[in-house]
Amino acid sequence: MSVILSPIDALARRVGLTSDAPLLITALTHSSYASEHGVESNERLEFLGDAVVDLVITDAIIHEYPHLDQGTGSLARSKVVNEASLARAAEDLGVADAVRLGRGEQKSDGAHRPSQLADTFEALVAAIYLERGYDTVREFVLAALGDALRAAAAAPDEVDPKSRLRQWAESNGLGTPVYAVTGDGPSHDTTFVAIVSLGGRDLATGTGRSKKAAEVAAAQRAWEGRNDA
């Protein structure tokens, strides 16, 4: 008879931790849940995980992609270590079903917000690093982000979404894209929303943990819908 696992149990198996491991539970605890229940949030783990992911990807670039120099290596890394990439990895792991959110975040479907997914992925990385060590977390990160890294290493200097959209708009005599960015939430957990417009017409909206990330997301969506512009 098959056993139906809870979302946290299933995620624990995927990341190689026990489902009752304190660090795993903390990694899945959003600040909104922490505030409502008086427990520790995943913010400190996120802070550490951000550095660990950066180290693992940089280390892999140095040792596995010798054709990349400092400049192209930095470009490749930026294509892998970003909100969209980490959010996709978190979705694949089933993070959205396991994360612990406050009531307000639940109502606004915060579990699927890219910024929240990326933050939780980083917190999980930190939990694995602290529980299992560097070799294990390196294997985990490369399994989660390896495809993105290989693609980035193959074309590190491909034009970024904002530059690509600008070049297309200007070459077609449409002017230069303009970005309007707003932020929502506390300073330690702000979500930025960017609206890109062209000739006074809004083209697309994007969200991110930083103004730049939100603008890039908006530019990518505008590029994908450029034939309708």
- Point out the catalytic residue in the list 46, 83, 119, 122: 122
Residue 84, amino acid: A
| Cα 14–Cα 126–Cα 186 angle in degrees, nearest 5 | 110
Sheet-wide strand order for 201-208: 178-184, 191-198, 201-208
Is residue 50 part of the annotated active site? The answer reads: yes
DSSP 91-132: HHHTHHHH-B--HHHHHTTGGG-HHHHHHHHHHHHHHHHHHH
DSSP 52-82: HHHHHHHHHHHHH-TT--HHHHHHHHHHHSS
- Give, for 202, the enclosing helix (H) or strand (E): strand 201-208
Is residue 122 part of the annotated active site? The answer reads: yes
The three-state secondary structure class of 183 is strand
- Point out the catalytic residue in the list 46, 50, 83, 105: 50
The three-state secondary structure class of 191 is strand
The catalytic site residues sit at 50, 122
